[in-house]
Structure 1
Amino acid sequence: MAYRTPDKSKRPYGWRARIGLIVPSPNTVTETEFWRMAPDGVSIHTTRLLYRADEVEDPVADMEQFLPQTLEELRGLEVDVVAYACTASAFKTPHEETQAEVSHGVDRPAVTTMGTILNAFKALGVTKIAVGSPYTDDVNEAERRYLESQGLTVTADEGMILFEAQQRLRHMNLVTEPDVEKLAMRIDSPEAEAIFLSCGDMATLGVVNKLEKKLGKPVVTSVQATFWGALRIAGINDRIEGSGLLLAEH
């Protein structure tokens, strides 16, 4: 029997690119919004890091111990790029270190949410941002310090806590898009050059374009920026409408 030579362009799915995606185990938003933004020929392949919010004091730091196993699960998928999608992890471990570990573990290019967020602001020519999130005050403060350490000016930041479980960094995915829209309107000011909606488990995709039209400035989200970064590293340069200026123009 004569065997065929594998041909990436003839994959039934992901014939243009396969994106490997790593999310905290309770996250239901990132994967969903990735698929909504994905152009034809791009597929998403997700694995999870165990996130023990009810068992440990610091679940974000704790889940890092499960990363080697997660990378092992991804290795056999022959993805073209891996996206490590957790905004808050950068406040525990510098995003460059996480990116290097993921890339080494899968032997593929990798991006992290925080790394793509910073690249997004550079692409947009933005240095002054207003930050809205579903985080507690201590996490917001850590995020502000991190962003400012990277040369950004935070003109405002607000954590919108609607559910008791958010105090343990859970149930961000219950925050609705109308709530997110109101949050963005509250934090905006003339000084802010862009709005940053932080957290990969907070639904934002349905309001990004609406907010950009209302406010007259870019709106960057954790999920949108991560997808943009992964897509471009995979060599897909499609301009995607409906998901904000970042994907439509950069």
Structure 2
Amino acid sequence: MSGPERVDEWKTTPCEVDPAPYYKKSCALIALSTDIVIENEVRELLSGDAVSLFVDRIEFRSLAREDLLALRSSIAQAARLIISQDRLDVVAVGCAAAAMAIGPSELHALVTRARPGAMVTDPVSACLAIFASKSITKIAVVTPYPDDVNAGIERFYEQHGIMIVAKASFKRPGGDDISRIASQSILDAAREVGAAREAECLLLSCTALRSREILPALERSLAKPVFSSNSALARHIQELATAANLQVYDQP
């Protein structure tokens, strides 16, 4: 009994190809190689499935200023390559310390050159947008950064009309240990610093700080708004994606 006859050629079968991507709105998140928090938190904080999130990683060396500035070329390359054949509505650069070291204007310009037409955000631009929308000028801040980075944060916000009236830091050197700071430690520090009467809100600054699960409890106990780098970033991504002009991609 003979076996089945061998088929030498693959049959070509027809298919239709959509003229536009299957998703309506899209965001590229450029995250640090050591940050194990940002991707899950931002994805969970984005409401529903209105925004498709595409993530790329860039190498992170340290929080030293020269290393933060050196991220410029990696950020531009990631923005250029991520889903390079399809459109992006928003590019989000996921590092607060790098955004302040490079400066939001320069950061947005280098991303826009790599990905024309995309709107750009980062954690500090997202925070400034929230502060402006709520007329907030005095904040309490918890960070994981060493003193030189904290000093840069204070200068940055002062230059944008925001006064830090209460502050505390875990003073970690950087790397993956920031992502491993216990949620209870973050909660304890946040409650103490956020209780400052002059502070109109509390900010947990750093995308690698685990914060999503403790934000509601903090807001209840402090009776004031509480934001994290990730919650601000997700909110701004949503706003920019909603504002993006998508008519050119819509199909009849």
Question: Mean alpha-carbon deviation: is it higher for 151-160 or for 59-68?
Answer: 59-68
The answer to whether residue 26 in structure 2 is matched with residue 18 in structure 1 is yes
Distance 2:147 2:186 in 1: 17
Match of 2:3 in 1: none
Partners of 1:76 and 1:175 in 2: CA distance: 38
On the 8 A contact 1:53/1:170 being kept in 2, the answer is no
Identity %: 25
State the shift of 1:18 in Å. 1.5
Shift of 1:65: 2.8
Q: Relative contact order: is structure 1 or structure 2 higher (C-alpha 8 Å, sep ≥ 6)?
A: 2
Displacement after TM superposition at 1:4 (Å):
4.5
Q: How many residues align?
A: 227
Q: Which of 51, 57, 62 is residue 42 of structure 1 equivalent to?
A: 51
Out of 181, 194, 198, which is 1:191 matched to?
198
Name 1:234's counterpart in structure 2.
241
2:149 & 2:65 partners in 1: Cα distance? 13
| 8 Å contact kept, 1:135–1:169 | no
Unpaired stretches in structure 1, ≥5 consecutive residues: 238-250
Q: TM-score, normalised by structure 1?
A: 0.83
Matching residue's letter, 2:147: D
Moved more, 133-142 or 168-177: 168-177
Q: Deviations over 1:118-173 (max 9, x none)?
A: 00111122110001011111111110111111001110111114xxxx32454210
Indicate conservation of the 8 Å contact 1:17/1:43, yes or no: yes
RMSD, aligned CA: 2.2
Residue of structure 2 equivalent to 1:245? none
- In 2, Cα distance between the equivalents of 1:175 and 1:236? 35
Query: Could you tell me which of 139, 142, 149 is aligned with 2:149?
Result: 139
Offset at residue 236 of structure 1 (A)? 7.2
CA distance in 2, matches of 1:120, 1:57: 26
1:173 and 2:179 matched: yes
Q: Quote the residue 2:11 is aligned against.
A: none
Kindly tell me: are residues 168 and 84 of structure 1, through their superposed partners in 2, closer, same or farther at Cα, counting changes over 3 Å?
Answer: closer
The answer (yes or no) to whether the contact 2:30–2:75 under 8 Å persists in 1 is no
1:241 is matched with: none
Looking at structure 2, the residues matched to 30 and 77 of structure 1 have their Cα atoms a distance apart, in angstroms, of: 24
| 1:92 match: secondary structure | helix
User: Is 1:60–2:73 an aligned residue pair?
Assistant: no
**Regions of 4+ moved over 3 Å:** 1-5
In the TM superposition, what is the alpha-carbon distance from 1:177 to its structure 2 partner? 1.7
Larger radius of gyration: 2
1:99 maps to 108
Separation in structure 2 between the aligned mates of residue 182 and residue 5 of structure 1, nearest angstrom: 51
Unpaired runs of 5+ residues, structure 2, are 1-13, 245-252
- CA change 1:4–1:168 in 2 (3 A) is closer
SS in 2 for 1:140: helix
Q: TM-score, normalising length from structure 2?
A: 0.83
Within 5 Å, give how 1:1-16 maps onto structure 2: 3-8=16-21, 11=22, 15-16=23-24
